[in-house]
Every structure is written in structure tokens, then in C-alpha cells.
């Protein structure tokens, strides 16, 4: 379970403080799939970073009794001057996993082959994104954070990503953040709407989509 209790987050800006949200609460249970709908700039990514623990809330408390992934397929979490293999080793060391058995999987899944031993900055954008996704699959988590959905690679690769994530790991909790309603509709049972610094109660997904559609029209 992840429990968020009355958190707020504000950033110091040139003009003073920018408060992204106030008094936000949410509970995610094991295996539950929750969508967060919000327009651009509503604070979705900030919420993901707080859930993942890379940033701390200004006030309030977040407790986790399940392991939570880093934001999925995030290519910026890797180092360009290092090779794909180095990045894999780094991730494995940080999360305490033996790297050797995973090398083949990552090279094959990301379709990198010999490029595993080349620096990441020599990769195409597609290769980079595929590596990032493959690395995210190396460590098993109880809960996956998905920020906008994996629009990575060609149709075939996307199909494989979906299998890995929603098929093989279908029993895990997931938090899917998106401004595209159909993605949330496809994978989540419930969804909450982030708007003007407030997060609604999680609603059944159909209801949430209606509410979101209304908001978007205004």
C-alpha cells in the first residue's frame, strides 16, 4: 500500500512560491491500477516524482509498504557517456540484483545487440527509449509508476512492452498518469482527476472520464 496523507508541494520560483497542490490524499492498494487524469501543467509529473520518492513533499506524509518503481521508461535517468551495459550494471548494483542473468534479456528486448557496449549517446532516440524500458523491466516492483504511456518504438515493440507490463506484471499495482483518456480507460479500474491543485476522489473509470471530458471542454 502507498498512503499519501495531506501532502502539499511548492517550489521556489523567481516570482515567489508556486504551489503545485495542496492537501492531497490518496491510497493505492496492492494490485490496484489507478489512473491520474490531468491537463498539461496540472502537476501530474510532480505527483509521480513524489510517489516515487525522488522528491519530498513540502508538507504531509507518504508511506510505502510496497516497493515502487522509478518513473517507467524514463531515459533521462541514465548516463549518456556510459554504455547500455554500464547503465544496466549501475541499476543492478543500486537495486541489489545480480546483473549477469539480465544482460541477455535487456540486449534482446531492447534490440541493441552489440550496441550494448557502445555509449548511450551514440544511440538513436528509439534505441535509447527501448533501453530505458528494458532496464525498467529488470527490477521487479510491487507498484509501477507510468508517466504518459510508453509510446516507444514501433508497433511491434509497443505490443511487447504491453505484454511485459500489463500481461506478465498484470498483478502489480500501477499508477498511470496521462492527459490521454483512452490510455487510462484501457488499463485502470479507477481514476482520479488532478485539477487546480486538487485531486478528486478516485472514481470508477467511466465516471472519471466523463468528468474529465467536461473539464476539458470548459
Binding mask 149-188 for another protein (x = CB under 8 A): ----------------------------------------
Part in contact with another protein (CB under 8 A); list of ranges 93-101, 148-156, 194-202, 205-213: 93-101
The distance of closest approach from Cβ of residue 75 to another protein in the complex, given in angstroms and rounded to an integer, is 9
* Residue 82 makes contact with another protein by CB under 8 A: yes
Part in contact with another protein (CB under 8 A); list of ranges 137-145, 153-161, 188-196, 202-210: 137-145
Parallel, antiparallel or unpaired: strands 33-37 and 190-195: parallel
Nearer to another protein, 56 or 180 (CB): 56
String of DSSP letters for the chain: -EEEEEEEEEEEETTEEEEEEEEEEEEE-TT-EEEEE--TTSSHHHHHHHHHTSS--SEEEEEESS-BPPSTT-GGGS-TTSBHHHHHHHHHHHHT--SHHHHHHHHHHTT-GGGGGSBGGGS-HHHHHHHHHHHHTTS--SEEEEES----SSHHHHHHHHIIIIIITTTSEEEEEES-HHHHHHH-SEEEEEETTEEPPPEEHHHHHHHHHHHHH-
Tell me which of 21, 78, 133, 212 binds another protein, using CB under 8 A: 78
* Residue 25 makes contact with another protein by CB under 8 A: no
Part in contact with another protein (CB under 8 A); list of ranges 17-25, 122-130, 138-146, 196-204: 138-146
Tell me which of 21, 70, 157, 212 binds another protein, using CB under 8 A: 70
Nearer to another protein, 2 or 208 (CB): 2
The residues that touch another protein, with contacts defined as CB under 8 A, are 11, 49, 52-56, 63-68, 70-71, 74, 76-79, 81-82, 86, 89-91, 93-97, 139-142
Amino acid at each position: 500500500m502507498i498512503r499519501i496523507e495531506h501532502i502539499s508541494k511548492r517550489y521556489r520560483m523567481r516570482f515567489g512560491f508556486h504551489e503545485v497542490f495542496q492537501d492531497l490524499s490518496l491510497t493505492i492498494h496492492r494490485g490496484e491500477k489507478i489512473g491520474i487524469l490531468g491537463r498539461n501543467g496540472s502537476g501530474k509529473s510532480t505527483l509521480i516524482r513524489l510517489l516515487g520518492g525522488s522528491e519530498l513533499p513540502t508538507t504531509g506524509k507518504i508511506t510505502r509498504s510496497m516497493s515502487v518503481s522509478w518513473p517507467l521508461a524514463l531515459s533521462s535517468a541514465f548516463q549518456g557517456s556510459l554504455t547500455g551495459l554500464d547503465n544496466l550494471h549501475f541499476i543492478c548494483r543500486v537495486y541489489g540484483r545480480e546483473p549477469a542473468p539480465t544482460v541477455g534479456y535487456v540486449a534482446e528486448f531492447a534490440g541493441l545487440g552489440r550496441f550494448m557496449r557502445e555509449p548511450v549517446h551514440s544511440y538513436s532516440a528509439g534505441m535509447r527509449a527501448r533501453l530505458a524500458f528494458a532496464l525498467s523491466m529488470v527490477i521487479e516492483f510491487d507498484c509501477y509508476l507510468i508517466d504518459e504511456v510508453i509510446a516507444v518504438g514501433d508497433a511491434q515493440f509497443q505490443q511487447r512492452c504491453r505484454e511485459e507490463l500489463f500481461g506478465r506484471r498484470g498483478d502489480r499495482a500501477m499508477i498511470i498518469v496521462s492527459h490521454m483518456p483512452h490510455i487510462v480507460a484501457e488499463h485502470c479500474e479507477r481514476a482520479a482527476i488532478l485539477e487546480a491543485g486538487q485531486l478528486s476522489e478516485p472514481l470508477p473509470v467511466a465516471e472519471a472520464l466523463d468528468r474529465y471530458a467536461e473539464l476539458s471542454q470548459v
